[in-house]
Structure 1
Amino acid sequence: MSYRELATRPVLAWSVVTVAGRLPVAMAPLALVFLVRERPGGYTLGAVLAAAYVIGEIVAAPVLGLRLDAEHARPQLVAGLAVGATGFAGLGLAPGAHPLVLAALALLAGAGPAAVPGGLRALLTSLVPERAVTQAMSMESVLTFGIWAAAPALTTGLALGVDPAVPLLLMGVLMGLSVTGLWTLPPGWQQAAKEDGASTRRALLRAWPVYVLGAAGLTLLALAELILPALLEQRGIGIGWAGLLLAGFSIGSAVGAFAYGLRADWPGTLTVQSLVLVLAVASGVALVAVLPSATGIAVALVAAGLLQAPASLARNLALRELLPPSALAAGYSVMYAAVGAGYAASGTLAGGLLKVVAPSTAILWGVGLTGLLVLVGATGERRLVREREGGDRPLPRPQGEASEDADAAVRNVRR
């Protein structure tokens, strides 16, 4: 199936809703920093608000994802987006409020729509035939990386060129529009068979190696985004290049996602693909730490971006294979929380290391953390494979069942 066949009205409507709902998410951390940077201790307060926002996402995503009703998910998605829109609008309307009030609003803005990405992904895969799922998820990845490439420039331009509160107000309006757009989509998605809560939780827990690999992938993205400005200063390169270099990373990721969707069967299992690609991205980020020129850093970042998106796609497709259909939305939400935790952990590590080591060394330490997470995920995946192979062996037939078959054969002979 080609990408052209995804150009249906439901998929196009889904794309519009996704852009309106995810652009605020991509703009949020930087917008929160700009909102309060002119107050005393503004940059520290901005970092705290961004952390509160991310914590809201990480905590709420698995909790709300487990409660999504597959066949009637729309009211829950609408409620989540409405809460997010309220949080962003409150921040934009009251930028001078007490820091605790701002932190509460940021937490609310992050927590409310935390399960929406998982729900929308499950809805997207229900809008296309099974053979087109890889292309649909590749298209989603292209869209997502395009959003992340545009968000910093849009946020910076509005905050510095108009007013620091304007990005937050725009984010509230966009989330409100995504609420309206949801009514153009189906109310939910079909699930083959309902699992009880305990079975769903067990299935989600068994998939932990995939979540660890997801966290590993986002530690690399955090390294690229958060330490790059300091690394450029260390190399004597103008810090203004940081935006262009990160845009190259995002554009490379969008191209990589599109290329991955051109084939339905890449060599190796999905988990092996993810492992190899994450290690390749880690190599690219390590090169960023040691190359002396802006040109070399740009090439390394674009190459890492080209492989980052396929690694993420392979993880999500592996999760889809591993979980029962009724647990997919919850699984995508847990993955969302895991990658957010990986980003936050890497950012915290980077911030601490930059106080005691050079930026290039901090990046290499972060790559080491990624390698450790990959090792843990690969070990867990091997255990999963052994369990599945053991579960696939035919079980001995109960004695009573064999006797019934023998009695039936005798009756047929007599007839």
Structure 2
Amino acid sequence: MPPATATLRPGMRAVLARPHVTAMLAGTLVGRLPTAMAPIALLLAVRADGGPVLLGGALAACYGLAAAFGQPLLGRLVDRTRLAPITALSTAVASAAFTALAVLGAADHPLAAAGLAALAGAATPPLEAGLRALWPRLVPDPDAHRAAYTLDSVSQETVFVTGPLLATALCQLASPAAALAACALTGAAGSLAVILRPPARWRPPATRAGHWTGPLRSHGLLLLLAAMALLGANLGSFSVLAVALADRHAIGWLAGLLPALLAVGSLLGGLVYARSPWNLPLPRQLVYASAGYAICFAPLLITTAPPLTASLSTLPGLYLAPLLAIAFQLADRLAPVGTATEAAAWLIAIIGVGQALGTALAGRLAEHGPAAVAALPVLAAALAAAVLLTRTDLLEPATTAPEKTA
């Protein structure tokens, strides 16, 4: 792309200057903090009570799996009603579940803790999917959509920088109960900020897809979901690797630092991507980003030394925000008319499913040491890139959803 053309692309500042964008984005970020805090808080709560990593991983998996089942349903309800009432109801349920977890001894009452973790996950407010479905209406200029989705992905990484560190700090300085209570408070505060904004009360487009499968009848979207499930497994197993390394080396802050460093890399990568002059089709961009992500994870196979692992954790993050920004742009284009929120919710959900399964499997491998756990995120990242390479043609929006408009 010639430099003169690149300068014409609307940037993140132009997107932020649009009405309601800053407030909606800020509320969504605060309201989503529990999704990054809860897995670490649950793992550390079990460890603080003398329970095994396997139980902590199972509780985190219950939370993630339940969120994965709940998000598409909540997304479909948003597509058929509005964002505000669905967010209000789900937030009330999730906050109550987190409050109950804060006063319950997870290691002493594992079944009750699993039920509450599942309830908190299933009631995760559809803030992320709701905002991503609103971008074409918040930012009507199609040329600004790339900047909008990149801003979304980049800013969401602050959740995964702040969330694990906040949860770890609260566990270390106060207690795991304080971290779980903070999940209830931050979720409620962020959701309230979104509910009070006019876009949360906008009615969805009048044209809606009536087929019971919703956006899942798009073959391209199904391929994208398969790859994102593997990406989720990568992220979930990486969190357990961080806890396993913290236990092995008796360095508690590693549990929150390594995921945060991955998110820092993602933040930087997203900023670079937003300024890059790529004119490649979105499917090809997605393949390149997933391949780069997998390659940068490979060095984790050769070391589990804390300083080197911490340094290496930033590298794959450089591709993470671009990968997610491209994936959500494609999901919006591949989804049939009237299913935008549900399509985004499915993408979020499938990442959560993969994350939960990766967490559970890595929790079992943790019994054999960090080296065994390290192989899982590397393998999952490589498989995600391989899946996208199998049928990249299915990701062409024009062939799967020609009727879709911004």
Pick closer, same or farther for the CA change 1:275–1:143 going to 2, 3 Å: same
Whole-Å Cα distance in 2 between the matches of residues 390 and 35 of structure 1? 46
Contact 1:81–1:178 (CA under 8 A) maintained in structure 2? no
Residue number in structure 1 paired with 2:84: 74
Percent sequence identity over matched residues?
A: 27
Residue 14 (str. 1) matches residue 24 (str. 2): yes
Partner residue in 2 for 1:254: 267
User: Aligned partner of 2:196: which letter?
Assistant: W
Q: Cα gap change, 1:323/1:39 in structure 2, threshold over 3 Å: closer, same or farther?
A: same
Tell me how far 1:105 sits from its aligned partner: 1.6
Matched residue, 2:202: 188
Equivalent residue for 1:211, pick from 225, 239, 254: 225
The question of 1:141 aligning with 2:150 is answered no
- Please state if 1:88 is matched with 2:101: no
Report matched runs for 1:245-324 at 5 Å: 245-263=258-276, 266-290=278-302, 297-324=309-336
C-alpha displacement of 1:111: 0.4
Q: 1:389 offset after TM fit, Å?
A: 8.9
Q: What displacement does 1:116 show? A: 3.3
Letter of the structure 2 residue corresponding to residue 379 of structure 1 = T
Query: 1:152-201 deviations in whole A, cap 9, x for unaligned?
Result: 22112222322332222222122222332212232135426222134734
Helix, strand or coil at the partner of 1:113? coil
Show CA shifts across 1:299-351 (max 9, x none).
43322111111111111111122113411110111111111122223333333
Give the 5 Å matches for 1:194-205: 194-198=208-212, 200-204=214-218
SS in structure 1 of the partner of residue 78 of structure 2 = coil
The answer to which of 27-36 and 314-323 deviates more is: 27-36
Q: Distance in 2 between matches of 1:353 and 1:42?
A: 13
Shift of 1:126: 2.1
Q: Counterpart amino acid of 1:115?
A: P
Q: What amino acid does structure 1 have at the position aligned with 2:101?
A: L
Gaps in structure 2 of 5+ consecutive residues: 1-9
After alignment, is 342-351 or 271-280 more displaced?
Answer: 342-351
Partner Cα separation in structure 2 for residue 346 and residue 320 of structure 1: 26
| 2:15 paired with 1:3 | no
Q: Does 2:118 correspond to 1:107?
A: yes
Matched-pair contact (CA < 8 Å) for 1:353–1:362: yes
Which of 164, 167, 192 does residue 152 from structure 1 map onto? 164
Q: What CA distance in whole angstroms lies between the structure 1 residues aligned with 2:340 and 2:159? A: 24
Query: May I ask how many residue pairs the two structures share in their alignment?
Result: 389
Q: Measure the CA separation in 2 of the matches of 1:9 and 1:350.
A: 44
Cα deviations across residues 272-313 of structure 1 (Å, max 9, x unaligned)? 211221121111111122258666544433221111111111
CA distance 1:189–1:286, shift in 2 (3 Å): farther
- Residue 378 of structure 1: how far off its partner (Å): 2.9
Q: Check conservation: 1:91, 1:168, Cα contact below 8 A.
A: yes
Q: 1:204 to 1:389 in 2, by over 3 A?
A: closer
Q: Work out the CA distance in 2 between the residues paired with 1:176 and 1:164.
A: 19
Larger relative CO (CA 8 A, sep 6+): 1 or 2? 2
Distance in 2 (alpha carbons) for counterparts of 1:36 and 1:166:
14
- State the secondary structure of the residue aligned to 1:165: helix
Measured after TM superposition, the shift of residue 267 of structure 1 is 3.9
**Alignment partners' CA distance in 1, 2:213 and 2:133:** 19
Taking the aligned partners of 2:257 and 2:399, their CA distance within structure 1 comes to 45
SS in 2 for 1:196: coil
Distance 1:201 1:143, change over 3 A: closer
C-alpha displacement at 1:124, in angstroms? Answer: 3.7
Q: Deviation of residue 7 (structure 1)?
A: 3.0
Structure 1 gap ranges (5+): 393-415
Q: TM-score, normalised by structure 2?
A: 0.84
2:353: which partner in 1? Answer: 341
Match in the other structure for 1:332: 344
Deviation of 1:242 (Å): 6.0
Verify the 8 A CA contact 2:218 2:334 in the aligned structure 1.
no
Report the Cα distance in structure 2 between the residues aligned to 1:282 and 1:153, rounded to whole angstroms: 25
Conservation of the 8 A alpha-carbon contact between 2:303 and 2:309: yes
For residue 4 of structure 2, what is the aligned residue in structure 1? none
Q: Which amino acid aligns with 2:339?
A: A
What are the Cα deviations for residues 213-261 of structure 1, in whole angstroms up to 9, with x where unaligned?
Answer: 2123233333433224656898x89675564444332111011112222
Which segment is superposed worse, 3-12 or 322-331? Answer: 3-12
The answer as to 2:73 corresponding to 1:63 is yes
Cα distance change, pair 44–366 in 1 and its aligned pair in 2 (3 A) = closer
- Residue 333 of structure 2 aligns with an amino acid whose one-letter code is E
Instruction: Return the match for 2:132 from 108, 121, 124.
Output: 121
CA distance 1:238–1:309, shift in 2 (3 Å): same
**Contact 2:293–2:381 (CA<8 Å) still a contact in 1?**
no
**Residue deviations 1:44-92, cap 9 Å, x none?**
4433322221121122122332232356232112211221112112222
1:120-172 C-alpha deviation (Å, 9 max, x unpaired): 22124421123222212222222211121112221122223223322222221
Instruction: Tell me if structure 2 keeps the 8 A contact 1:71–1:189.
Output: yes
How far apart in 2 are the matches of 1:201 and 1:247? 33
* C-alpha displacement of 1:23: 0.8
* Paired residue secondary structure (2:275): coil
Aligned mates of 1:231, 1:23 — CA distance in 2: 24
C-alpha separation in 2, matches of 1:92 and 1:354: 26
